[in-house]
């Protein structure tokens, strides 16, 4: 890896994980799960975190047997205050991995899908529901279309429709903020290979504050967006000062609500945070009635739903590419070679490009658990020997379902036990 670059900007949270020295035993369990070697300290001595190397992924937090790592960014009480403020519309942006994990904090079996109950509990708390699957669908349309543009440029010399620069191959996915931070700090030469698409969370914040006012009848300055994520790194992502597209949009229109800059996503709660919020508000998710959402923002496809698992983004992208290239939907609507828990999965698919009446063979790879698996893949790309055209990368083992913000399975104490079991297709 290259020397670490300092990429934090003014106003951006410089990492959200720290280690409590009064609890740390120096056992090195956290080090074994840190993808960048950000944790310092000899075995048996109190450890600390180098914030410039830290990706804020939270894998140290969910894997420490003593509960020494903790989150430094905590906004549960702030969100509750906003929910009680009748002049504000609080929009909850729910990631797909949350709905299969939060139930265990309310006595339901691990892995229980609680979408309807989660919607119901959020409605009772006062949230407007924005399912992040809605913008995961937007993301895959953007990433999939961008990949096809890059591929057609490389193969057929096709020019950009808008005259802009077309990025190189392979294209990397850009939805995982820990992965994006790794590229920025350790492999900056590969920044052009990242998809230019925002993550679903950041797209959701922008949509909620641009199109949302027409749906909810509330000005953008009175819409408070809350990402509800399985991921601690999403807190850093939301704080990045460049993510203020809705403010810029309203400013260009001359709208009054653009007088003071505001972020697209105001704050982020992890799955654990949302569980605590419900408990503070005396809401028992397990007892809530099913609810189906309150706007088109609760509508989505199966492509958005599978984003939470390793391989899900790639499968969704290939479905999209197949439909655009051939004019037909993939049948059956599955691409099983990118499923499963192997650290690096690869596959190829041959598609006929109806625009050029030629076949295209696309080589893809899926990487998760980047601490153990990403380096050889990136070294091939840097050396110009990579066989791949499109690479999905997720920091956490198994994908977002095993994110640093998920409930911690244990016996007797919420801080004891092993990591959340990895849920993925067989």
Count Cα atoms within 13 angstroms, Cβ side, for 261: 9
- Specify whether 195 is catalytic: yes
Residue 76 CA to residue 99 CA, distance in Å, equals: 18
**Phi, psi (degrees; rounded to nearest 5) at 270:** -80, 175
pLDDT band at residue 424 under the 50/70/90 scheme: very low
Residue 204 CA to residue 139 CA, distance in Å, equals: 10
Same domain for 337 and 379, yes or no, is: yes
Residue 9: inside a domain: no
**255-280 pLDDT per residue, tens:** 866 678 899 999 999 999 999 999 99
**Average of per-residue pLDDT across 351-364:** 88
Listed residue (25, 16, 111, 13) closest to 58, CA to CA: 16
Q: Which of 30, 64, 231, 400 is catalytic?
A: 400
**Stronger pLDDT, 333 or 318, i.e. the higher one:** 318
Any idea what the CATH number is for the domain that residue 110 is in?
Answer: 3.40.50.1780
Same domain for 182 and 101, yes or no, is: no
Residue 149 CA to residue 139 CA, distance in Å, equals: 15
Residue 328 has pLDDT above 50, yes or no: yes
Last residue of a domain, one of 302, 337, 359: 302
Same domain for 36 and 153, yes or no, is: no
Any idea what the CATH number is for the domain that residue 392 is in?
Answer: 3.40.950.10
pLDDT at 5: 63
- Specify whether 237 is catalytic: yes
Q: Which of 2, 159, 242, 253 is catalytic?
A: 242
Same domain for 215 and 100, yes or no, is: yes
Same domain for 118 and 264, yes or no, is: yes
Same domain for 121 and 248, yes or no, is: yes
Residue 288: inside a domain: yes
Residue 139: inside a domain: no
Last residue of a domain, one of 302, 323, 351: 302
Last residue of a domain, one of 278, 302, 326: 302
Number of domains, the chain: 3
Residue 365: inside a domain: yes
CB 17 within 8 A of CB 60: yes
Q: Which of 175, 176, 231, 396 is catalytic?
A: 175
Q: Which of 89, 174, 195, 275 is catalytic?
A: 195
Residue 1: inside a domain: no
Residue 67 has pLDDT above 90, yes or no: yes
pLDDT band at residue 379 under the 50/70/90 scheme: very high
Residue 222: inside a domain: yes
Q: Which of 104, 143, 288, 315 is catalytic?
A: 143
Same domain for 129 and 175, yes or no, is: no
Same domain for 108 and 226, yes or no, is: yes
Same domain for 213 and 262, yes or no, is: yes
Same domain for 190 and 224, yes or no, is: no
**193-227 pLDDT per residue, tens:** 999 999 999 999 999 999 999 999 999 999 999 99
- Specify whether 158 is catalytic: no
**299-309 pLDDT per residue, tens:** 888 877 888 88
Residue 219: inside a domain: yes
Query: Which one-letter DSSP state was computed for residue 419?
Result: P
Residue 30 CA to residue 26 CA, distance in Å, equals: 9
pLDDT at 418: 33
Residue 209 domain boundaries: 76-134+199-302
Angle made by CA atoms 194, 195, 198, in degrees to the nearest 5? 115
Residues 6+ away with beta carbon under 8 Å from 77: none
Same domain for 186 and 234, yes or no, is: no
Residue 413 has pLDDT above 60, yes or no: no
Residue 409: inside a domain: no
Q: Which of 71, 104, 221, 237 is catalytic?
A: 237
- Specify whether 34 is catalytic: no
Buried b (16+ CB within 10 A) or exposed e, 142-175: bbbebbbbbbbbeeeebeeeeeeebbebbbbbbb
If you compute the radius of gyration of the chain from its CA atoms, what whole number of angstroms results? Answer: 21
Any idea what the CATH number is for the domain that residue 37 is in?
Answer: 3.30.70.20
Q: Which of 198, 234, 244, 345 is catalytic?
A: 234
Same domain for 95 and 207, yes or no, is: yes
- Specify whether 161 is catalytic: no
Residue 278 CA to residue 329 CA, distance in Å, equals: 41
- Specify whether 234 is catalytic: yes
Buried b (16+ CB within 10 A) or exposed e, 193-207: bbbebbbbbbbbbbb
Q: Which of 146, 221, 288, 392 is catalytic?
A: 146
Residue 159 has pLDDT above 90, yes or no: no
């Amino acid at each position: 890896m290259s020397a670490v670059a300092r990429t934090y900007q003014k106003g951006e949270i410089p990492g959200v994980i720290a280690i409590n020295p009064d609890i740390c035993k120096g056992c090195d369990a956290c080090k074994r799960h840190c993808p960048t070697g950000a944790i310092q300290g000899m075995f048996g001595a109190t450890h600390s975190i180098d914030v410039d190397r830290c990706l804020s992924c939270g894998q140290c937090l969910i894997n420490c047997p003593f509960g020494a790592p903790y989150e430094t960014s905590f906004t549960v009480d702030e969100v509750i205050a906003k929910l009680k403020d009748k002049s504000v519309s609080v929009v909850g942006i729910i990631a797909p991995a949350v709905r299969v994990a939060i139930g265990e904090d309310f006595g339901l079996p691990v892995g229980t899908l609680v979408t309807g109950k989660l919607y119901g509990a959020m409605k009772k708390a006062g949230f407007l529901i924005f399912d992040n699957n809605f913008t995961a669908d937007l993301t895959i349309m953007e990433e999939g279309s961008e990949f096809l543009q890059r591929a057609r440029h490389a193969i057929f010399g096709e020019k950009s429709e808008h005259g802009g620069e077309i990025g190189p191959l392979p294209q990397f996915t850009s939805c995982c903020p820990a992965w994006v931070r790794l590229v920025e700090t350790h492999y900056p030469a590969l920044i052009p290979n990242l998809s230019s698409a925002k993550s679903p969370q950041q797209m959701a914040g922008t949509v909620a504050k641009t199109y949302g006012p027409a749906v909810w009848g509330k000005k953008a300055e009175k819409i408070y967006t809350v990402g509800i994520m399985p991921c601690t790194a999403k807190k850093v992502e939301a704080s990045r000062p460049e993510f203020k597209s809705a403010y810029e949009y309203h400013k260009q229109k001359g709208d009054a609500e653009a007088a003071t800059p505001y972020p697209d996503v105001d704050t982020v709660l992890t799955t654990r945070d949302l569980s605590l919020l419900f408990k503070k508000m005396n809401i028992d998710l397990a007892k809530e009635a099913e609810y189906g959402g309150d706007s088109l923002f609760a509508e989505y496809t199966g492509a958005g739903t599978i984003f939470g698992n390793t391989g899900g983004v790639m499968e969704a992208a290939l479905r999209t590419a197949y439909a655009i290239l051939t004019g037909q939907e993939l049948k059956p609507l599955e691409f099983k070679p990118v499923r499963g828990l192997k650290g690096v999965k690869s596959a190829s698919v041959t598609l006929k490009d109806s625009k050029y009446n030629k076949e295209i063979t696309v080589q893809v790879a899926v990487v998760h658990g980047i601490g153990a698996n990403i380096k050889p893949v990136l070294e091939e790309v840097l050396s110009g020997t990579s066989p791949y055209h499109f690479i999905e990368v997720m920091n956490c083992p198994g994908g977002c379902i095993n994110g640093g913000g998920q409930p911690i399975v244990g016996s007797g104490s919420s801080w004891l036990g092993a990591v959340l079991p990895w849920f993925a297709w067989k």
